[in-house]
Amino acid sequence: MKNHKLKNEVFLLMTIILLALLIGIRNPVFFTTVNFVSIIRNLIINGIMAFAIMLGIIIGGIDVSFPAIAVVSMYITNRYAESVSYSGSAVWLFAMAMSIGLLLGLINGFLITKFKLPAFIVTLGTSSVFYGLLISTLGGKQVNRLVAPLEAIAKAELFRVDSGTSTSAMPVTALFLIAVMIIVYFILNKTMLGRMIYAIGGDKESAKKAGFPVWRITILVYGFIGLVSGLAGISHSIQSRMCIPTDLMGGEMIIIAMVVLGGTKISGGKGTVLGTFLGVFLITMVRSSLILVGIPSVWQEFLTGVIIVAGTGISAYQVLKDGKKLPPVMEEV
């Protein structure tokens, strides 16, 4: 089993290295720490969301409402903070955003389990409900300046790198991503809950027969997705130093693609933290590096699509070929 565990990740890593070399040869600026930091910067928010939905995909459900949850959490929190000129600890603002996310996620979980509906379709609906309701009631006005506590975090830097011509700072939000990764890793590999999530994703009926609390775990997973999406939302406003409610919307597919490219099967039951990170990194790296290679940014979407198609195509084709292979019956002569 260990062999299987690493095969996909190794393939991804090699692809990343190969592409990195190709890009770097074209433009050595790629190999600078400034560039590296900037790539990481770019992948933080998407990464947080990728790890949020990863659990959902493993358990067998595709949640497409997470950008909406992120936006709702981010927007309500920021508008509230602005309206009261909030000056207390930022922790409470985070708590607020994540609680909103948790609540919305639990609504998803409830609908999915109570009415036994497929997650994809339910979350399609709730995405519209959450977002539509938000803008209808609060209006779509941007928040152009973050309140002081959040602004402070936005300005803060973990560290900064200079290369003479340019400079880049690692934002505090990177810590959030690391924290989420550690937590997800812990859940999946060290807790009974995590193994049951894999089990349910592998065979839901068998999980029920084994006495696992399938519905309870499912609701929990969707709640978790909401919780972490809330974190992603408020982190996004911090990284962009503003709160624009139309951001993030429409980004669900690319993040699902990142997770799937990372080896998490869309049918459930399989997925690793390392793989997901590599998937996020690969797509972000390519998207960020096009300019360096002289490919006009107009090609960005096309190339992202090519990577997704190539990545999923190659791994699917391998599975197909393996499936067709007949087990050898005759003894070797």
Chain positions 296 to 315 lying near other proteins, rule: CB under 8 A, are 296, 298-309, 312-313
Site for other proteins in 75-104 (CB under 8 A): none
Within 257-296, the residues that bind other proteins by CB under 8 A are: 257, 260, 266-267, 269-270, 296
Cβ neighbours around 11 below 10 Å, total: 17
Among candidate residues 69, 70, 87, 76, the one with its CA nearest the CA of residue 143: 76
Contacts with 208 (C-beta within 8 Å, 6 or more apart), sequence order: 214
Choosing from 39, 52, 55, 111, the residue that interacts with other proteins (CB under 8 A) is: 111
**Tokens 């009261």 — which residue?**
84
Distances (CA, A) of 214 to 32, 155, 209: 48, 43, 10
Site for other proteins in 178-237 (CB under 8 A): 189-196, 198-199, 201-203, 205-213
Kindly indicate which of the ranges 7-15, 113-121, 156-164, 216-224 contains the residues binding other proteins, using the contact rule CB under 8 A. Answer: 113-121
Residue closer to other proteins, measured from CB, 167 or 189? 189
Q: Looking at residues 116 to 155 of the shown chain, list those that interact with other proteins (rule: CB under 8 A).
A: 116-118, 120-122, 124-136, 140
Phi, psi of 111 (to 5 degrees): -60, -40
How many residues line the site for other proteins (CB under 8 A)? 82
| Residue (174 or 248) nearer to other proteins, CB | 248
Q: Which is nearer to other proteins, 236 or 265 (CB)?
A: 265
* Shorter beta-carbon distance to other proteins: residue 92 or 302: 302
Pick the binder of other proteins from 91, 164, 250, 294 (CB under 8 A): 250
Closer of 124 and 169 to other proteins (Cβ): 124
Are 286 and 302 within 8 A, CB to CB?
no
Q: Which stretch binds other proteins (CB under 8 A): 23-31, 142-150, 232-240, 324-332?
A: 324-332
Query: Left (φ > 0), alpha (ψ -120 to 50) or beta: where does 171 sit?
Result: beta
Query: With respect to other proteins, which residue has the nearer C-beta, 155 or 216?
Result: 216
- Contacts of residue 122, defined as CB under 8 A and 6 or more positions apart, other chains included, come to 108, 111, 112
State in angstroms the smallest separation of the CB of 265 from other proteins. 9
Q: Are 65 and 126 in contact (CB under 8 A)?
A: yes
Nearer to other proteins, 163 or 191 (CB): 191
Dihedral (CA of 93, 94, 95, 101) sign: positive
Which tokens sit at 264?
A: 């998490």
